[in-house]
Amino acid sequence: MPDITITLLEGQKFGAYCAMPAAGHGPGLVVIQEIFGVNANMRKICDDFAAQGYIAVCPDLFWRQETGVQLDDKKPEDMKRAMELLGGLDVEAAVRDLLSTLGSIRQMKGCSGKVGAVGYCLGGKLAYLMATRSDVDASVSYYGVELDKYLDEVHDIRLPLLLHIGAEDPYVPPATREKILHRVMRNPAITAEVYEGASHAFARIGGQNYNQEAANLANLRTAEFLAETLQS
């Protein structure tokens, strides 16, 4: 179950998983879930970021539909439920939840004041929207979906954004990928990396599309990017 509580301006509350660095202080990270909720994979990602010195918080974005969702991408029934939850997600409300999470981390004891965002799949889209709609200090989007629907917001990005895109991602076909790259390359705050031979969710350890070479490279680039933008 989530181990901290985030409070919206309206007074509503929702849960989040929080992993603290051993030192008890450092920059913050909003870790944004895939469609499977704050499951073991997302918690492991938070733990790994905490080991790198970050206060890593993964909020439950499905709380308006069902609290405490933890689904397994390898189970057909869980995949079906994940798609139902995705269909019922209010993206604008999810962004508001992330903004509240950002504010909560900045107020946490031990937070340096700098906070980034890292998201995967659905979370990759939301990390992009955090870059366009908030003052988050840096953002990383892993194989974000539907970015092409929000390209009008590219000009709103002023702080660093790193995009990881699989060249074989069926949710981002070549024409869509080229459209995205064409637009984001105009903004010097954005870096886009394309991984040949990598499909969607190429960095999800244990997933059917896991690509160790691409994942290792993307994770290395992420570590370097976050160290430069949040720890310097």
Query: Measured between alpha carbons, how far is 60 from 76 in angstroms, rounded to an integer?
Result: 22
Per residue in 140-165, pLDDT (tens digit) is 999 999 999 999 999 999 999 999 99
Strand partners, 15: 5
Q: What is the mean pLDDT of the chain?
A: 96
Identify whether 73 is a catalytic site residue: no
The one-letter code for the residue type at 17 is Y
Task: Answer for the pair 62, 83: CB distance below 8 angstroms, yes or no.
Answer: no
Output 104-109 pairs: Cβ under 8 A, ≥24 positions apart. Answer: 104/4, 104/6, 104/7, 104/57, 105/28, 105/29, 105/30, 105/55, 105/57, 106/28, 108/28, 108/55
Query: Measured between alpha carbons, how far is 68 from 16 in angstroms, rounded to an integer?
Result: 9
Identify whether 78 is a catalytic site residue: no
Going by C-alpha positions, the residue among 168, 162, 172, 178 that lies closest to residue 209 is 168
DSSP character for 137? S
Q: What's the structural domain count of the chain?
A: 1
Going by C-alpha positions, the residue among 215, 139, 150 that lies closest to residue 180 is 150
Percent over 70 (pLDDT), the chain: 99
Q: Using CA of residue 168, residue 171, residue 176, residue 180, what is the dihedral sign?
A: negative
pLDDT at position 2 over 60: no
Q: Is residue 222 helix, strand or coil?
A: helix
Strand partners, 22: none
Going by C-alpha positions, the residue among 76, 21, 25 that lies closest to residue 51 is 21
Query: What is the rounded radius of gyration, in angstroms, for the C-alpha atoms of the chain?
Result: 16
Query: Measured between alpha carbons, how far is 15 from 59 in angstroms, rounded to an integer?
Result: 6
Q: Is residue 56 helix, strand or coil?
A: strand
Query: Measured between alpha carbons, how far is 159 from 212 in angstroms, rounded to an integer?
Result: 29
Query: Measured between alpha carbons, how far is 177 from 213 in angstroms, rounded to an integer?
Result: 21
Which of the four pLDDT bands, split at 50, 70 and 90, describes residue 216? very high
Cα-to-chain-centroid distance, residue 14 = 18
When pLDDT is averaged across residues 33-43 and rounded to a whole number, the result is 97
CATH code, domain with 175 = 3.40.50.1820
Cα-to-chain-centroid distance, residue 224 = 17
Of 60, 78, 97, 200, which one is the catalytic site residue?
200
Of 48, 72, 169, 182, which one is the catalytic site residue?
169
The residue segments making up the domain with residue 65 are 4-230
Please give the pLDDT value at position 9.
Answer: 85
Q: Is the pTM of this model over 0.85?
A: yes
Per residue in 173-189, pLDDT (tens digit) is 999 999 999 999 999 99
Which of the four pLDDT bands, split at 50, 70 and 90, describes residue 92? very high
